Chain A
Amino acid sequence: MYSQNYNQEDDFTPRRPNRPNGMATASVILGIMALSSITFPLSAVILGALSVLCALLSRTDRMPKRSIAGLILSCISVAGSSFMILRTVDYLKSNPQALAYYQEMARSVFEEYGMSDVYDELFGKYDSSGTYQLPQEDKSKKEAPSSGNSGNSSGDSDYYDSFFGDLYRYYFGSDTVPSPSVPDSPSYNISGGDFV
């Protein structure tokens, strides 16, 4: 019963040649999803890689048109997200204040999961008094705070405006958006968790 005859010659022809190629469909769907998530580089790369894999697996004699479409979409999304990553890294390198802001966001995530000590160990951006250490060029501003940023919510909002305004100008040029008022660089208190 179990010793079947496996010695028959096989012509390797598809059993159902008219069957729709599911891998090609999956490739184009994943390519569209990758393109739509281009602003989330990690998911764009994951979906793009899956799309390319499905396109490769859908090949028989030649690649179906849907697979080619999926391949092109995923290539565009991976290239676009890579470009965004590189530009963002470049921007953060040239703008230490934005880098500090990102680090603060990352720390709050670590803190939410009770891993703030891990973050401090990895990045170590706080001094012994619990004040966030801003880059050297912003310390002069911190020492002379302006009157408009004393409240927590307004300081936070101004900081957002400043950061995203800078980012927008960096990507699309400096003359296209109204320039937000640049607030003083806030310091950050670990114990309170708010801008002061």
Chain B
Amino acid sequence: MKTLNSAALKRNARIKMQGNYGTLILASLIVFGCTLLLNVILALLSPASSGFFSQILYLAGLLIVNTLYNVLMAGIFRLYLNLATKQPFSIRDIFYAFRIHPEPIAVYSAICLLAEIAFFYLLIFLSSGMIFGSFWLSLVLMILVFLALMCFLLTFSCFLFLHARDPWRSTKELLTGCIQMMNGHRLALLWLSLTFLGVLLLCVLSLGLGLLFAVPYIQMTVTLFYEQLAQ
């Protein structure tokens, strides 16, 4: 098993980013702006009624927005990967997945959306307590469902990274690659994410302005984490 020291990963991330903050911040702002715009459009177009077809239409819109967001995020991974491996990089890297084999990303977005909806409704069902009656049994089941959701998200979080690394792999290969790569490293990724809580607290204190620097830093560290696992 590889040893993944979060402090070393962060140090490497800071070294890699020296002198390149401008490009990385601009890329983050572009993705943020596009996502915000898409969500505003989705909110404006969402139907007021709560009928079945309205809900289906809303879910379709949500799927499109999620797919576009994931395509841009794959581009972000591509940009950071190029920077991490000393390849030539530019801001255009974030749009690479629109040109190169975006189908697996669409499938991945659909899988994620369906899984999240399923887990969400399962949690609501368990929290209602109508079936099991017992509060403690419902609570234990809710915790189990939450842990399963976390496990799912941690396992497949590297999908976009793997796509950025080799865009021509099929969806099945990418999903299998995710499971193989993250096997035994989910807790390491969770711990790495938790170590950013201090930085995020500083971002809160700076009313979100710190996110301009913190988001590229976190993204670069996670990219190096995946890259080290992938090697």
Interface residues of A (CB under 8 A from B): 2-4, 6-8, 10, 12-16, 19, 21-23, 45-50, 52-54, 56-61
Contacts and interface: CB of A to CB of B under 8 A. Distances in A.
- Please give me the 3 A-B residue pairs with the lowest Cβ-Cβ distance, nearest first: A49-B205, A49-B206, A12-B12
A46 B85 contact: no
B19 A53 contact: no
Nearest to B85: A6
B122 interface: no
A46 B18 contact: no
Contact of A2 (B12, B15, B16, B96): B96
A175 B168 CA distance: 81
B11 A45 contact: no
B203 A2 contact: no
B199 A56 contact: yes
B213 interface: yes
30 contacts: A2-B167, A3-B166, A4-B82, A4-B87, A6-B227, A6-B230, A7-B231, A12-B12, A14-B18, A15-B86, A16-B18, A19-B19, A22-B18, A23-B18, A45-B205, A46-B205, A46-B209, A47-B206, A49-B203, A49-B206, A50-B202, A50-B209, A52-B202, A53-B202, A53-B203, A53-B206, A53-B213, A58-B14, A60-B11, A61-B11
B210 A22 contact: no
Contact of A12 (B15, B21, B167, B199): B15
Most buried by B among A14, A46, A57: A57
Interface string B155-183: 00000000001111000000000000000
A48 B207 CA distance: 12
Contact of A53 (B12, B82, B84, B199): B199
B217 interface: yes
Contacts of A14: 15, 18
A53 B166 contact: no
A6 B18 contact: no
Given A6-B165, A57-B217, A59-B11, A50 B85 contact: no
Interface string B183-220: 00000000000000001001101110110011001000
B100 interface: yes
Interface string B1-32: 00000000001101111110100000000000
Nearest to B228: A10
Contacts of B76: none
> Size band of the B side of the interface?
35 or more
Contacts of A22: 18-19, 21
A176 B82 CA distance: 65
B202 A49 contact: yes
A56 B231 CA distance: 28
Given A22-B21, A45-B205, 4 more contacts: A6-B165, A19-B18, A49-B202, A50-B209
A59 B205 CA distance: 21
Nearest to A6: B85
Nearest to B214: A53
Nearest to A21: B18
A13 B217 CA distance: 17
Nearest to A60: B15
A50 B15 contact: no
B81 interface: yes
B85 A57 contact: no
Contacts of A52: 202
A14 B15 CA distance: 6
A50 B81 contact: no
Contacts of A48: 205
A6 B11 contact: no
B105 to A, nearest CB: 14
Contacts of B206: 46-47, 49-50, 53
A50 B210 contact: yes
